[in-house]
Chains A and B, each alone.
Chain A
Amino acid sequence: MTSPVLAIPKLKKSNRRPEMATQWQLMWWKFKKHHMALVGMIMLSLLVFSAVFAEILSPEIPTERNNKYLASGPMGIHFFDSEWNFHLRPFVYSRSTKRDPVTLRKIAVVDETKLWPIEFFVTGSPYKFWGLVETDIHFFGAKGGFVHLFGTDSLGRDVFSRSLYATRISLSVGLVGVTFAFILGAIIGGIAGYFGGIIDNLIMRLIEFIRSIPTLPLWLALSAALPREWSSLQVYLAITVILAMIGWTHLARTVRSKLLALREEDFTVAARLSGCTDMRIILRHLLPAFMSYMIVDVTIAFPEILLAETSLSFLGLGLREPAESWGVLLFAAQNVRSISHMPWLLIPGLFIIVAVLAFNFVGDGMRDAADPYSK
């Protein structure tokens, strides 16, 4: 009788040393198991990348008007021409301008006889990268003509370029808003949680009051109070502050509840007995323990602020032209006429959806990873 051969499972080779791993390493290992969160992370990285390099990536500058291609649809990029010849270099069909015999409006029509090849790192309209370096290099462009991936608006501005620029503004509004909210929330929630008692009671009632105010009318009232003559930069800053004023409440609650719980932990008592001052206990022992939860909260607060900015701008009370944000771009797609004639103006809305979904996925993964010590 032969003895059964026991299959010894091959140990996966790994240079992980869990016993030496910091909290952040453990969190990253756990986060990686969450596939949707990873996808969200990649999408976010793409968005951030395009926000950072918006000027280079966009073929036009956003204020540039193309009189030959007013209010016209997206131009497709092709590899095969009308005779099915393959072109290694992608191209767009050239456009020529005609008059509509009925409305007498200028319209652009596809001219399949001429091809405009797409080239990379072409020279185009000059711009200042981040307002610092003057250059005229664009990542791509059509030689001999123009390329509008997402079409143009009624003034002939490139929707694709404007979307990229808007990504920068919208993401940074979210970032600045979340940072403000984070600081406010951490300080106010920290005071409530650490001192407790009457102070805690007052702050919590205040938060409940703020949260009970319907948000949209409140934003409207606050932004209506902004002087009309302010420049778009001033308005931009004011809007982020307004959004942060409301966004901090949730963070403050998280901080408070975590502090209240951690204050009673044995290791906090041990730290106190070790002679740590209150400040040292908070900064060295408590803060690292709830930092991860705060980051989760921030990723979840981000889309809220993003959507708030979009709603405000969409209603015409947030950012205004010439500043671009996703909300400002959608503002142009407000009436039925423009949607029916120019449905491509809704494309910036896709950016919002992608960003919000990505943030939510990442937040989800972070929540799972936030406490790597739980099994």
Chain B
Amino acid sequence: MSRLLRVTDIKVHFPVGKTGILGRPANYLKAVDGVSFDIQRGETLGLVGESGSGKTTLGRAILRALEPTSGEIVYEQDGNSIDIMGLNRNGLRKIWRNMQMIFQDPYASLNPRMTVQDIISEPLLANKLAKGKDLNDQVVDMAQRCGLNTGHLSRFPHAFSGGQRQRIAIARALILHPEFIVCDEAVSALDVSIQAQILNLLKDLQVELNLTYLFIAHDLAAVAYACDRVAVMYLGQIVEIASTEKLYYSPRHPYTEALMSAIPEANPEQVMQPVFLTGERPSPTNPPAGCRFHTRCKYATDECRTQVPALREITEGHFVACLHSEGLSLKGALEHGKG
């Protein structure tokens, strides 16, 4: 597998509060604060973390749908490395043919004033890639692949259910035949049964069209089902990346352990004993010094309060940002029940 995307030390800081009328921002909300990772061609990288950990911001920043404060994003296309941060408006429009996004809320991401046909054909029209019969054929083809009834293309989004709307959004994202898709909580707004359908659709399309996904979610079960590798975010930083199996069954970061302990088991008799985190999540405006997780970590030592742990590879392909990960024996998913 070859690398498709490399993200290095990306930061997204939002100004908050103001001093004086035209003064500088009083502080910055560090939504994403120094994140680095690679995505391989054809894989699905999961990105999990609690609400407010910066998952969505990171996903948008990678596409530059939201301007990152600093960092480097390099995209590999036909043997050329493209520096996404250095692109101007036109360069971005071109690269967006290869990188698309599926949004969380299919009610907000489809323009209610346009028919499904118009919505799906918009990327082709905007890039002047097709017109007339060719356009129509491409739209019908993509709608079919995404499981839409092609007889309903002249309807408006308000006539569709959430799952169907998400299929429309997927068709729109794929109509330009991109290589890389950011799925921003693409299934979390849907019913569980519909979630499964959409996840399967995404998997089928991945094989069919040779896609690479960044799969942002907070549903750990969906992530386990969909992803090859998973990254865990906490307070704007990645604390652990590993293959799905390693991350779920032998986590090396205390925060991952706590997350995994929250996965419910499909056995009603099983008594759950999740690891409870104490205290509140610190504000991303004033993150704690040292390891950001030390305020809620039961293994924290004095070292953790001062020393910032770097993301380091402890076994092959398993990166952890914890000073003590070698010394801890942490439980994985489904190991938290009694007995």
B96 contact set on A, CB distance < 8 A: 273-275
Partner of A270, one of B97, B103, B112, B156: B103
Inter-chain contact B158/A373, CB cutoff 8 Å: yes
Inter-chain contact B126/A276, CB cutoff 8 Å: yes
Interface residues on A, range: 20 to 34
A23 contact set on B, CB distance < 8 A: 112-113, 156
A21, CB-defined interface residue at 8 Å: yes
B108, CB-defined interface residue at 8 Å: yes
Annotate A266-289 by CB proximity to B: 1 below 8 A, 0 otherwise. Answer: 110111111111001000110011
Give the complex CA separation of A314 and B46 in angstroms.
72
A270 contact set on B, CB distance < 8 A: 101, 103, 109-110, 169, 172
Partner of A275, one of B63, B127, B152: B127
A18, CB-defined interface residue at 8 Å: yes
B328, CB-defined interface residue at 8 Å: no
> Interface size of B by Cβ–Cβ distance < 8 Å?
32
Give the secondary structure class of B's interface: loop
Instruction: Name the CB-closest residue of B to A285.
Output: B111
Q: From residue A56, how far is it (CB to closest CB) to chain B in Å? A: 41
Q: From residue B152, how far is it (CB to closest CB) to chain A in Å? A: 8
B52, CB-defined interface residue at 8 Å: no
Give the complex CA separation of A22 and B159 in angstroms.
11
B100, CB-defined interface residue at 8 Å: yes
Q: From residue B209, how far is it (CB to closest CB) to chain A in Å? A: 17
A6, CB-defined interface residue at 8 Å: no
A266 contact set on B, CB distance < 8 A: 103-105, 108-109
Inter-chain contact A275/B123, CB cutoff 8 Å: yes
Inter-chain contact B156/A19, CB cutoff 8 Å: yes
Which residues of chain B in 55-99 are interfacial with respect to chain A, using CB atoms and an 8 Å cutoff? 60, 63, 65, 93, 96-97, 99
Which residues of chain B in 114-159 are interfacial with respect to chain A, using CB atoms and an 8 Å cutoff? 114, 122-123, 126-127, 152, 154-156, 158-159
Inter-chain contact A20/B97, CB cutoff 8 Å: no
Give the complex CA separation of A266 and B96 in angstroms.
16
A64 contact set on B, CB distance < 8 A: none
A111, CB-defined interface residue at 8 Å: no
Q: Total contacts A to B, CB within 8 angstroms?
A: 75
Query: Residue among A271, A280, A285 with the most chain B CB within 10 A?
Result: A271
Partner of A20, one of B122, B156, B169: B156
Give the complex CA separation of A276 and B128 in angstroms.
10
Give the complex CA separation of A19 and B115 in angstroms.
10
A22 contact set on B, CB distance < 8 A: 156
A321, CB-defined interface residue at 8 Å: no
Give the complex CA separation of A37 and B97 in angstroms.
47
Query: Residue among B60, B112, B113, B155 with the most chain A CB within 10 A?
Result: B113
Give the complex CA separation of A276 and B123 in angstroms.
7
Inter-chain contact B172/A289, CB cutoff 8 Å: no
Inter-chain contact B126/A280, CB cutoff 8 Å: yes
Instruction: Name the CB-closest residue of B to A286.
Output: B111
Inter-chain contact B122/A274, CB cutoff 8 Å: yes
Q: From residue B38, how far is it (CB to closest CB) to chain A in Å? A: 22
Query: Residue among B65, B105, B109 with the most chain A CB within 10 A?
Result: B109
A265 contact set on B, CB distance < 8 A: 108
Give the complex CA separation of A19 and B153 in angstroms.
11
Inter-chain contact B126/A267, CB cutoff 8 Å: no
Instruction: Name the CB-closest residue of A to B159.
Output: A19
Inter-chain contact A273/B100, CB cutoff 8 Å: yes
Q: From residue B104, how far is it (CB to closest CB) to chain A in Å? A: 8
Give the complex CA separation of A350 and B273 in angstroms.
78
Inter-chain contact A269/B65, CB cutoff 8 Å: yes
Query: Residue among A19, A266, A280, A373 with the most chain B CB within 10 A?
Result: A266
Inter-chain contact A289/B126, CB cutoff 8 Å: no
B104 contact set on A, CB distance < 8 A: 266
Instruction: Name the CB-closest residue of B to A289.
Output: B113
Inter-chain contact A275/B156, CB cutoff 8 Å: no
A280 contact set on B, CB distance < 8 A: 126
Inter-chain contact B127/A21, CB cutoff 8 Å: no
User: Given that A19-B155, A266-B105, A267-B108 are contacting pairs, would A274 and B113 also be in contact in the complex, using a CB cutoff of 8 Å?
Assistant: no
Give the complex CA separation of A271 and B100 in angstroms.
11
User: Given that A20-B155, A273-B65 are contacting pairs, would A373 and B112 also be in contact in the complex, using a CB cutoff of 8 Å?
Assistant: yes
Q: From residue B93, how far is it (CB to closest CB) to chain A in Å? A: 5
Q: From residue A140, how far is it (CB to closest CB) to chain B in Å? A: 47
Give the complex CA separation of A18 and B160 in angstroms.
11
Partner of A274, one of B103, B108, B126: B126
B108 contact set on A, CB distance < 8 A: 265-267
A277 contact set on B, CB distance < 8 A: 93, 126
Query: Residue among A19, A22, A23, A277 with the most chain B CB within 10 A?
Result: A19
Where the two chains meet, the residues of B that have a C-beta atom closer than 8 Å to any C-beta of A are: 60, 63, 65, 93, 96-97, 99-101, 103-105, 108-114, 122-123, 126-127, 152, 154-156, 158-159, 169, 172, 176
Instruction: Supply 4 further A-B pairs (C-beta < 8 A) apart from A269-B109, A270-B101.
Output: A19-B152, A266-B105, A272-B65, A277-B93
Sample of 14 A–B contacts (CB below 8 Å): A265-B108, A267-B108, A269-B60, A270-B169, A273-B99, A273-B101, A274-B96, A274-B126, A274-B172, A275-B123, A277-B126, A280-B126, A285-B111, A289-B111
Please list the 7 inter-chain residue pairs (A to B) with the smallest Cβ-Cβ separation, ordered nearest first: A19-B159, A274-B123, A266-B109, A266-B108, A276-B126, A275-B126, A288-B113
